[in-house]
Amino acid sequence: MPLTAKPLSGLKVIELGTLIAGPFASRICAEFGAQVIKVESPDGGDPLRKWRKLYEGTSLWWFVQARNKQSLTLNLKHPDGLAILKQLLSDADILIENFRPGVLEKLGLGWETLHALNPKLVMVRLSGFGQTGPMKDQPGFGAVGESMGGLRYITGFEDRPPVRTGISIGDSIAALWGVIGALMALRHREVNGGDGQVVDVALYEAIFAMMESMVPEFDVFGFIRERSGNIMPGITPSSIHTTADGKHVQIGANGDAIFKRFMQAIGRDDLADDPALASNDGRDSRRDELYGVIDRWVNSQSLEAVLAALNQAEVPASRIYSAEDMFSDPQFLAREMFIQAKLPDGKAFKMPGIVPKLSQTPGSSEWVGPELGEHNSLVLASLGYDATQIARLRESGAI
């Protein structure tokens, strides 16, 4: 697929980010055609290069998180390195950064300076607590955002301490808000004739925005939602159950018609026809009874038998997938959710596919995360530097 067929082709994105939130936001832009120049420190670059499982010294996560990006090393404490960054930003469309508030200002790259340099620039700022407020200068990772935003409080079982999800969900959700904000700002710039603006995303607010009815329920009723294990409080039935062969299945039968079909499928016509259970409020008031019925039925069946019966009855259900399950699943394969790629030594490996699916201008993965400074010469040449000048920049420690 040529780059001109991608929806963000022609956009120039500068990434000043490390680890997760900023780099994930720019990865999405890169997958859909934007030129993403990732600025890294010459001294090792993004720490993500060394996170989790390493292949010949480089994180497999890195090859995914930095795909389609160009790596440029700049020493921002060196005047020439800073000057190069300003050149890049002078005609860029988007800057994505996830430093602690004030870091860019200390480099002389605050919003007022950048806006004067390039009035059309959209600046996406991802931080723990946002650019304002009494906590703005405090360090805040995704785990802190998940805690403060309300997610950790309700995650886990009621008789145990809060738990985390197995991924850095706070960072990733913040990244999505960052991309949404950037596209809104671009829309305003290009359709309404406006200038660039700041997109200010706080990690705790990114999570807080996902907390459904938490705010009005507390404000109106003084209700505080607590941890509830695998059930969905107030929405019944929706939970995880264990089969006779020790497997686990998620069943979501909380729609009125779906619940009726579910009860009929398991031989409980009495519950299917009970008018008190015809709507969610009635079912939730008898939650323990219903989960007992479902548990007994699931406990008596194998996983495959449960899935077959519920599929036949058109009741939403799923095994709890591991990576191994995904790799052979027909739905994942049909949707091209695995992309074949090659590591630097030529070894083939699979990366996750592109989300979302666009029918006319789909995204793609053109290359894996680059080596540190792999695109130095390419990017600097595009700014007018010749080979001699680039060599001098390298010798001086600017790149």
Closest C-alpha to 122, from 234, 35, 178, 197: 197
The DSSP-derived string for 373-385 is TTTHHHHHHHTT-
Q: What is the largest CA-CA distance in the chain?
A: 84
**Distance (Å) of CA 126 to CA 6, 24, 238, 288, 323:** 25, 11, 34, 42, 30
The one catalytic residue among 46, 171, 200, 284? 171
Is 171 annotated as catalytic?
yes
Distance CA 152, CA 207 (A): 10
CB atoms closer than 10 angstroms to residue 64? 19
Distance CA 29, CA 14 (A): 11
The DSSP-derived string for 158-169 is TTS-----SS-H
Question: 67 exposed, middle or buried (CB, 10 Å; 0-12, 13-18, 19+)?
Answer: buried
Distance CA 270, CA 36 (A): 60
Distance CA 143, CA 145 (A): 5
Through-space distance between the first and last CA atoms of the chain, rounded to whole angstroms:
33
Q: Which residues are catalytic?
A: 171
